[in-house]
A = this chain, B = another copy of it.
Amino acid sequence: MFQNNSRTELSELGEFGLIKHLSQFIRLKNESSVKGIGDDAAVIDCKEKMTIVSTDMLVEGVHFDLSYVPLKHLGYKAVSVNLSDIYAMNAVPEQITVSIALSNRFSMEAVEELYSGMILACDKHDVDIIGGDTTSSTSGLIISITAIGTAGKNDIVYRNTAKETNLICVSGDLGGAYVGLQLLEREKQVFKENPKIQPELEGNDYILERQLKPEARRDIQELLKTLQLKPTSMIDVSDGLASDLLHICTQSDVGCNLYEDKIPIDPNMYRNAREFNLDPTVCALSGGEDYELLFTIAQADYEKIKNNPDITVIGHITNKNSGYNLISKSGTQHPLTAQGWDALLKK
């Protein structure tokens, strides 16, 4: 099946490259497997309803640093991240399974802290922990969560169904989680150099919470239902606005115009980004981990959301041939690219 005479570094491919490469070998055989790899979550046909499944793995040293992330927050975030994927399918999460691997440097009390955060998030979203696996690890902590939800067959919103002239909307504001992380990293360095100095985090609760304790947007999914508004496509902002909007566009085979001056940015994020000498727009475009919902709607549905302070129209879908564009505040057009954090840090 595979050719294995060469060595291709994973770093050359990247996560999306690897997934794309592996996907070509994966065929769906069961009638019940409605949607496999390629969206926020998979969809299983259970006749009366659809079952939605999403899974995420968090690795210590890669996704979190326990020197400044409290275990309770980590548990909360691990659950939020997964539920966010279910909401991004316009579905309702109901269960999760939790697998953790931990080394013997963790005590039972530490595991309790982690679980207390997970249980808190589950309670907030009326979700049940129905199973999992606990095992030892040789080094750090690894958390793998699978979230399961339900949706009516016609309610599910995929990534690949955006249409030309659709409006691009996003909930909340963007970039905060990334700038919050910069703040935590800076204080970690200060602490390393002089453990007696108290961390300067005051007044920045908002962006710190965006990083440490993100909220999956249950309220937006519920709002859409109340408004009887079915988005034409939807994704959650985990990799960054640019990357996630490009997922919608490439999968839907359309282009986009995104307006810099429309991107919702919180003043706390703006001030801190400036302090770090970072461009707030770039933070919003490429920061990621915001777990807001990014979706497209038919123009006819604009009336339903226009007065909602929590939803912002940031652009529109165009013909594929027009490309992916960012229209700057000065009116200049730039190609929209998925840069990710690497590019940000090279600034």
Contacts and interface: CB of A to CB of B under 8 A. Distances in A.
B57 A148 contact: no
Interface in A40-70: 41-42, 44, 46-49, 51, 53-57, 59-63
A115 B32 CA distance: 22
A102 B10 contact: yes
B46 A47 contact: yes
A128 B69 CA distance: 36
A152 interface: no
B8 A62 contact: no
Chain copies in complex: 2
Given A10-B111, A56-B99, A144-B99, A36 B130 contact: yes
Task: Please tell me the size bucket of the interface on A.
Answer: 35 or more
Contact of A8 (B30, B97, B109): B109
Contacts of A131: 36-37, 41-42, 53-55
A201 interface: no
26 contacts: A2-B112, A4-B109, A7-B108, A10-B107, A15-B134, A18-B134, A27-B128, A29-B128, A32-B95, A33-B128, A37-B131, A44-B148, A46-B46, A46-B47, A47-B48, A51-B51, A54-B131, A55-B97, A55-B132, A57-B99, A57-B100, A57-B144, A59-B142, A99-B144, A133-B144, A138-B140
